[in-house]
C-alpha cells in the first residue's frame, strides 16, 4: 500500500513523547514512539530530498491485527506458495533444501554465528526480512507488504488473530508434548513449558514440514542434527507461552531501549535488545522467539517458523523507531563480526557485505541503514492501536468526504472542525465505502471525537467502532484500519 501526500499531513501528526508513566502500557508507549518516529522522518525530509523514496510513496508495514481477513489470507497464501516453489540453492551448499522457503532457512543457518550479537545484527535481519517480502511479491504474486507481530498487544494467544488457529491466522499452538521447558541465553536461562510443544495442529500451517535443522534446539525433547543443511523432514512444532512476554516484553524494557539509558548508543541498545544472558536477561529479541517455542527455539534454524518474519519485522520496527528518534546515532554500528566476539574478531565495518545467497543481491551494511534510501528499501511502519470497544458519541463534526483507493479496498475520508470542541481542529475519519463486513454503501459520515479516540456514525441506524492509529483524535491515522468490522445497532 502507498499513501498520498495529502493524507500524510494528518497521518503523521504526533503527540510529544514524555517519560513512561507507571499507568502507561508498553502498547501505549509503542504508539507514542511510532508516531514520534514518523513525525521525525517527515520533518527531516526536505522537499527536494529522497526523490526516489518519500514518506508519500513509501510502502507501509502494518500490524497483523490491522489487516483485513482478505489481506491476511493473501499473505498466508503467498507464504504457502513459497513453501511449494522449488529451491534455487546449489545442492552442494544446502543439499536438504527442497523449497524456496528452505533457501531462506539455509542462509540463516549458515550465517548464524556471524549475524547475531554482531555489528550487523539489525541490518542483516532487516535485509533478510525485506528479501523474503520481495520473494513473496515477485514469486508468489503477493500485493501487500510484510506485516509485523506487535508483541505488546499479544493478549491471549488463543484469541489473537495471528495465533488463533483460524484460516486467516498463521496457525495456532502445537499439540501437547510433555517436555521440561526450554533453555536460552547459551543455556543460562530456563523457560517453563507451555501447553504445546508438538506439531502445529490447527490453521493454514497445520501439518507443515520443516526440512532443515535443527542443530541447537532450545526446547527439551527436540532432537538436534549435526548436519543442519541436509534433508531432515519433520513436522513444524510450537509451544506458545506468555512467560517470556510477561517477563521481558514490558514497559520498562521497551522504554529503556528506545528512550532510556540503553538508548544512548547503538552498542548499549543492541546489547540490551538482544539480551544480557549472564544476568539472566533474555531481551526483546529472544523473548519473541521463545514465546513461540518449538522450532523457533533454535537460534540457527528459527526461520523454519513462518511467524519468524513477522517477529523480525517487529524487531526492525523497534530499530527503525530508535533510528528516527536518535538521528545523530542512526547510522552508527557497533560490534565485531563473530557472535559475542567468539572467536575474537575485528570490528564490523559499514562496507561489510550482507549476503543472502540466492535470495537477493549482495549489499553492504551501509546500504541497509535507511529504510527510505530508495535502494533497496522504501518502507515505513504505521502506528496501530486497539479498536475502541464502546461507542460514546460526544463531539460531532460533519466531514467533507473524499475518496481513496488502494489495490484491494475503497476508502472514504474527510476533515473538518469539531462543532462542540474547536480544539479538535482536524477530526479526520477514513470510512469504508465498499466492505466485506458491511453489505451497504454510504456517501457521507459523521466523525465523533471523544477521549482521544475516533468513531464514526455510518448510517442513521448503525455505528461502527473503527480501528484508530494515534493517541490524539486530531491526528487519527486511519489509512490502514481493519475493514473487518462488527456493525452494531445504534
Give the tens place of pLDDT for each residue, 184-205: 878 899 999 999 999 999 999 9
Q: Which residue has the cell 531462506?
A: 104
pLDDT of residue 447: 33
Q: For residues 404 and 427, what is the distance between their CA atoms, to the nearest angstrom?
A: 17
Percent composition of the chain: helix, strand, coil (DSSP 3-state, to 5): 30, 15, 50
What Cα–Cα distance (Å) separates residue 397 from each residue in 14, 452, 478?
A: 21, 15, 16
Q: For residues 110 and 390, what is the distance between their CA atoms, to the nearest angstrom?
A: 50
**Grid cell for residue 333:** 554500528
Asked if the peptide bond before residue 376 counts as cis, ω within 30 degrees of 0, the response is yes
If asked whether residues 277 and 207 sit together in one domain, one would say yes
How big is the chain, counted in residues?
490
Q: Which helix (H) or strand (E) holds 384?
A: none
Q: For residues 46 and 95, what is the distance between their CA atoms, to the nearest angstrom?
A: 49
If asked whether residues 277 and 164 sit together in one domain, one would say yes
If asked whether residues 413 and 360 sit together in one domain, one would say no
If asked whether residues 352 and 263 sit together in one domain, one would say yes
Q: For residues 218 and 277, what is the distance between their CA atoms, to the nearest angstrom?
A: 14
The alpha helices in 153-282, defined as continuous H runs, are 243-248, 251-258, 266-274
Question: Does the residue 5 lie in any domain?
Answer: no
CATH classification at residue 94: 1.10.1280.10
If asked whether residues 355 and 421 sit together in one domain, one would say no
Question: Does the residue 475 lie in any domain?
Answer: no
What Cα–Cα distance (Å) separates residue 100 from each residue in 106, 138, 268?
A: 10, 12, 36
Q: For residues 341 and 233, what is the distance between their CA atoms, to the nearest angstrom?
A: 33
Question: Does the residue 19 lie in any domain?
Answer: no
Q: For residues 357 and 89, what is the distance between their CA atoms, to the nearest angstrom?
A: 8
**Dihedral angle, C-alpha 23, 27, 30, 32, nearest 10 °:** -50
Q: For residues 387 and 191, what is the distance between their CA atoms, to the nearest angstrom?
A: 32
Question: Does the residue 489 lie in any domain?
Answer: no
If asked whether residues 355 and 448 sit together in one domain, one would say no
If asked whether residues 338 and 434 sit together in one domain, one would say no
User: How far is CA 128 from its chain centroid?
Assistant: 14
CB atoms within 10 A of CB 155: 14
Q: Which of 426, 395, 468, 289 lies closest to 7 in space, CA to CA?
A: 426
pLDDT of residue 36: 80
DSSP 211: -
Question: Does the residue 430 lie in any domain?
Answer: yes
- Strands 446-450, 400-405: pairing is unpaired
Question: What are the backbone dihedrals phi and psi of residue 183, each rounded to the nearest 5 degrees, phi first?
Answer: -125, 145
Q: For residues 129 and 249, what is the distance between their CA atoms, to the nearest angstrom?
A: 22
Q: For residues 179 and 197, what is the distance between their CA atoms, to the nearest angstrom?
A: 8
Residue 401, domain extent: 390-470
Contact 50, 374 (CB under 8 A): yes
Which three-class secondary structure state does DSSP give residue 184? strand
Q: Which helix (H) or strand (E) holds 176?
A: strand 174-176
If asked whether residues 135 and 267 sit together in one domain, one would say yes
If asked whether residues 92 and 169 sit together in one domain, one would say yes
If asked whether residues 312 and 247 sit together in one domain, one would say yes
pLDDT of residue 41: 75
Q: What is the mean pLDDT of each run of 10 residues along the chain (490 residues)?
A: 30 38 72 80 60 84 94 98 99 98 99 98 99 99 97 96 98 96 89 96 98 97 97 98 96 94 97 95 97 98 99 98 95 98 98 99 98 95 48 31 35 34 34 29 30 33 32 28 27
- Boundary residue ending a domain (348, 364, 381): 381
**Dihedral angle, C-alpha 261, 266, 267, 269, nearest 10 °:** 40
pLDDT of residue 186: 80
Q: Which of 97, 104, 99, 107 lies closest to 83 in space, CA to CA?
A: 99
Q: What is the largest CA-CA distance in the chain?
A: 71
Question: Does the residue 476 lie in any domain?
Answer: no
Q: Which of 349, 350, 348, 346 lies closest to 369 in space, CA to CA?
A: 350
Q: Which helix (H) or strand (E) holds 488?
A: strand 488-489
CATH classification at residue 444: 3.50.4
Helix axes 266-274, 121-140, angle to 10 degrees: 70
Rg (CA), the chain: 22
Q: pTM value?
A: 0.76
Q: Which of 235, 239, 168 lies closest to 208 in space, CA to CA?
A: 235
Question: Does the residue 293 lie in any domain?
Answer: yes
Q: For residues 381 and 322, what is the distance between their CA atoms, to the nearest angstrom?
A: 13
* 171 Ramachandran zone, left/alpha/beta (phi>0; psi -120 to 50): left
What Cα–Cα distance (Å) separates residue 479 from each residue in 177, 317, 325, 407, 460?
A: 43, 18, 23, 13, 24
**Dihedral angle, C-alpha 197, 203, 207, 211, nearest 10 °:** -80
Question: Does the residue 13 lie in any domain?
Answer: no
If asked whether residues 213 and 286 sit together in one domain, one would say yes
If asked whether residues 396 and 429 sit together in one domain, one would say yes
**How many domains does one find in the chain?**
2
Q: Which residue has the cell 535502494?
A: 375
Amino acid at each position: 500500500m502507498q499513501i498520498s501526500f495529502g493524507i500524510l499531513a494528518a497521518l503523521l501528526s504526533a503527540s510529544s513523547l514524555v517519560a513512561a508513566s507507571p499507568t502507561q502500557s508498553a502498547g501505549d508507549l509503542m504508539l507514542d514512539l511510532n508516531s514520534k518516529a514518523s513525525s521525525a522522518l517527515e520533518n527531516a525530509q526536505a522537499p527536494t530530498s529522497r526523490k526516489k523514496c518519500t514518506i508519500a510513496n513509501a510502502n507501509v508495514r502494518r500490524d497483523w491485527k490491522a489487516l483485513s481477513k482478505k489481506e491476511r489470507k493473501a499473505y498466508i497464501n503467498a507464504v504457502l506458495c513459497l513453501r511449494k516453489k522449488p529451491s534455487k540453492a546449489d545442492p552442494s551448499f544446502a543439499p536438504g533444501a527442497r523449497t524456496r522457503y528452505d533457501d531462506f532457512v539455509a542462509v540463516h543457518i549458515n550465517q548464524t554465528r556471524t549475524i547475531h550479537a554482531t555489528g550487523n545484527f539489525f541490518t542483516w535481519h532487516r535485509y533478510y526480512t525485506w528479501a523474503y517480502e520481495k520473494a513473496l511479491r515477485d514469486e508468489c504474486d503477493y500485493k501487500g507488504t510484510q506485516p509485523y507481530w506487535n508483541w505488546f498487544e499479544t493478549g491471549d494467544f488463543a484469541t489473537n488473530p495471528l495465533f488463533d488457529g483460524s484460516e486467516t491466522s498463521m496457525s495456532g499452538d502445537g499439540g501437547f508434548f510433555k517436555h521440561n521447558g526450554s533453555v536460552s541465553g547459551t543455556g543460562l536461562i530456563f523457560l517453563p513449558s507451555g501447553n504445546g510443544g508438538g506439531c502445529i495442529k490447527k490453521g493454514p500451517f497445520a501439518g507443515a514440514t520443516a526440512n532443515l535443522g535443527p542443530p541447537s534446539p532450545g526446547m527439551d525433547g527436540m532432537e538436534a542434527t549435526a548436519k543442519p543443511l541436509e534433508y531432515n523432514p519433520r513436522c513444524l512444532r510450537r509451544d506458545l507461552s506468555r512467560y517470556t512476554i510477561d517477563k521481558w516484553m514490558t514497559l520498562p524494557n521497551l522504554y529503556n531501549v528506545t528512550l532510556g539509558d540503553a538508548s544512548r548508543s547503538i552498542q548499549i541498545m543492541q546489547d540490551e535488545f538482544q539480551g544480557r544472558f549472564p544476568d539472566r536477561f533474555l531481551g526483546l529479541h529472544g523473548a519473541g522467539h521463545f514465546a513461540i517455542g518449538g522450532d523457533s527455539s533454535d537460534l540457527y534454524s528459527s526461520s523454519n517458523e513462518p511467524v519468524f518474519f513477522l517477529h523480525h519485522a517487529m524487531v526492525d520496527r523497534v530499530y527503525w523507531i530508535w533510528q528516527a528518534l536518535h538521528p545523530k546515532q542512526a547510522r552508527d554500528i557497533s560490534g565485531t563480526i563473530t557472535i559475542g566476539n567468539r572467536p575474537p574478531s575485528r570490528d564490523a565495518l559499514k562496507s561489510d557485505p550482507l549476503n543472502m545467497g540466492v535470495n537477493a543481491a549482495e549489499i553492504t551494511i551501509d546500504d541497509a541503514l535507511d529504510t527510505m534510501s530508495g535502494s533497496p528499501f522504501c518502507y515505513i511502519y504505521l502506528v496501530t492501536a486497539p479498536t475502541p470497544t464502546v461507542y460514546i458519541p460526544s463531539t460531532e463534526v460533519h466531514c467533507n468526504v473524499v475518496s481513496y483507493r488502494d489495490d484491494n479496498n475503497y476508502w472514504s475520508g474527510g476533515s473538518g472542525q469539531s462543532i462542540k470542541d474547536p480544539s479538535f481542529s482536524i477530526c479526520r475519519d477514513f470510512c469504508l465505502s465498499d466492505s466485506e463486513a458491511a453489505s451497504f454503501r454510504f456517501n457521507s459520515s459523521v466523525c465523533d471525537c471523544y477521549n482521544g479516540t475516533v468513531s464514526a456514525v455510518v448510517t442513521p441506524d448503525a455505528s461502527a467502532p473503527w480501528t484508530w492509529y494515534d493517541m490524539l483524535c486530531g491526528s487519527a491515522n486511519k489509512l490502514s484500519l481493519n475493514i473487518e468490522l462488527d456493525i452494531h445497532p445504534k
